[in-house]
Structure 1
Amino acid sequence: MPRFAVRRLATGFLHVVVVATAVFALTSWLPGDAAVVVLGEDASDGQVAALRAQLGVDRPWGDRFLDWAGGLLRGDLGTSLLTGEPVAEQLGRELSSTAVLTGLVLVLVLPLSAVIGVVSGMRPGSRTDRSLNAVVVVLTAIPEFALGMVLVAVLALHLGWLPATAAGLSGLSLADQPAVLVLPVTVLVCKQLSALARQVRVGVAGAVDAGYATHLRVLGVPERSVLLRHVLPNALAPAVQQLARTVDGLLGGVVVVEALFGLTGVGAGFVDAVKTRDLPVVQGYALVFVVTTVLVNTAADVAARRLVPQQEVLA
């Protein structure tokens, strides 16, 4: 197990290096730059060239990449071209808001998906199983923005039960206005619940009637023990890896949901940085997404290997 974890971490580090290089290259080729955004389209070529030189965006790609990579090795993500603020400080401030949102979503998704998956998987093909599967499929098919717009129209605009957006609450923390989190959390839970619940259901349905489970029942082992000690560990191994993909999907969903509901966080910050061509900030956000994805998938592989030691967990 320790050697397996070390191999996965080493592979993950190589993935981060490759993707970080690709991110820097791709973001450097975005059309336009921060100088044009700051000065506007009416600025003269001389003014734009002078500001580009001041910001350092006119330097050769290779020189800028070496400076950026050297900064990463020192733990320095660079400085915003527009505000002059260190990227690490901006990310730290916005990650706290996103952490509240994603933490609430995961706290709700994990138990709900486990309950739905186990209830469906214990009696595959039953009316309950078919009903739950129908709900899950419908939730899977609806995009985040469409579901969010429907909830806003019904619960916020028509019924007036909840605020439609966090706009105008920039001076307050999410803890001061918890009602603004209800709709975005609901959207993300509905979207991320479906895939994980279906994976748990498939695992439980396959394990509940497996030969070893039947043999244990014949030997007189209580059904509760069969389920908790034997069926669930085998059923949850692939579900743990699906959880990693759920977190990956949650990162993408947060970008959409924060922009839709006017929430501050890495999603909204990433969108703003792309709009203003603030490349150090864009690269910092992208690096956070990459590192998070690698760490979550590595942890999921190790956890799945732990649940079922004899199973070869694919990289």
Structure 2
Amino acid sequence: MSRARREESSTRLLAALARRQHGVFSRDQAVGAGLSSSQIWRRVQDGQLERAQPGVYRIAALRRTWHQDVMARVLWAGGGAVASHRTAAALWRFDGFDRGPAEVSVPLVRQGGRGVHRFARLSSADATIVEGIPVTTPARTVIDLAGMVSEARVEAALESALRAGLTSVGQVHRRLDGPGGRGRRGRGALRELLAQRQPGAPTDSLLETLFVQALRNAGLPEPARQHQVFAGDRLIARLDLAYPERRLFIELDGWAAHGGQEAFVADRRRQNHLVAMGWQPLRFTWDDVTSGLPAAVDVVRAALAA
């Protein structure tokens, strides 16, 4: 095979790899595909490639994305590296975690740096692939977050992971007690959070999580989440939050709570049915929770005391 044919074949291999990696690849991968250092350098000089990280290149014609930046950071960090902590939370779309500077975890023998966390051991059970990017699993991500963000943010992450079916309370416990969880910063706080969590379904939204936290911080009893109400064998309603023994329920309405006129009408009929069964409703909006939280909590306190 001629030199030109070999280079063309290497280019195709590298392009296919880059497509799977959000448009980036490492120098080692390029060499492995058959390109020489001089060929890589020439493509940088010609503007076909750009340096994304030391030893990592992006295809210049492709639009730069956050996923590309994260993948480039993982490739820069080397074998065994994974996206982790807040970056992993954003990849998993946990509540309250937006896309930001890439954070990665690397084996302990590697050098650290800004946005680089080191681990003594990362079990295969703690790592996976999301959207083509090596990343910590949801359970491991929650454990990692417990060592660096507030308990409220950890709880929001946990509830959204449970809601999406990405993990379970039991799985988080098992990973917390495993080699990767022992001795980790925030382990005690996470264990306490899991212990105080009411059994049953997760909250249905970040709004509900915030309200549960507010009730707890105010010293009020923690309500049941997604409580089901039946009339005989027929399911009448699934309530956002409820105090069943007091026949008191709380509905939290986000901006898209009803999804149209038909859903709005059905919701009001459902509420009337519940009232006829002896339930007392309390309804709060996003603004009530984010701007008038103390007043909303006082309303619940008064209703429980009545």
Q: Indicate whether the TM-score tops 0.5.
A: no
Task: Name the TM-score, length of structure 2 as normaliser.
Answer: 0.20
Structure exhibiting the larger radius of gyration computed from Cα positions: 2
Bigger share in helix: 1
RCO comparison, higher one (Cα < 8 Å, 6+): 1
